[in-house]
Amino acid sequence: MRWFLLFAFASTGAMAQSLEPGDWEFVSEIATPGLPRPQPSAYRACLAREQAKDPLHWGRGAHLPSDCRVATMKLGPDTASWELECPSSGLKGGGKARLFGKTMESELQLAGGVRTRTRGRRLGPCNP
């Protein structure tokens, strides 16, 4: 179940605008049919410059199957939307993300009614 978290961040390639490198905190809520309420999850990551450009690194606290990939992606100055496919598990879905300087938010909808909403904020530079 934890690997659903990454879907808020699942995409490959660089966005037109990336997150600022540094120490980031991501907080997600995962809503799944059959659960009485969304399940919270949090993850903290030190994003280097290359990782800050790649949304796959924004949610590495969770794990998707290794064959998950972005089928299509549309980029804007501070937005991205994508379609995600994971052939081995049959997962498919779509998501969108918006960047606001030192914060971000994203949402992913997976087939079967699973929805993940994530907010992230930059805490400062990474600790050595």
pLDDT digits over 41-92, tens only? Answer: 998 989 888 877 766 566 544 455 677 777 888 878 888 888 888 888 888 8
Return the structure tokens found at 14: 């660089």
Contacts of 36 (CB under 8 A, 6+ apart): none
Residue 10 CA to residue 68 CA, distance in Å, equals 8
Cα dihedral 73, 58, 26, 18 sign: negative
pLDDT value of position 58 = 63
Write down the pTM of the prediction: 0.75
CATH numbers and ranges of domains, the chain: 2-124 (2.40.128)
Q: For residue 40, what are the CA distances in angstroms to 27, 44, 56, 105, 128? A: 7, 14, 19, 15, 28
pLDDT value of position 57 = 62
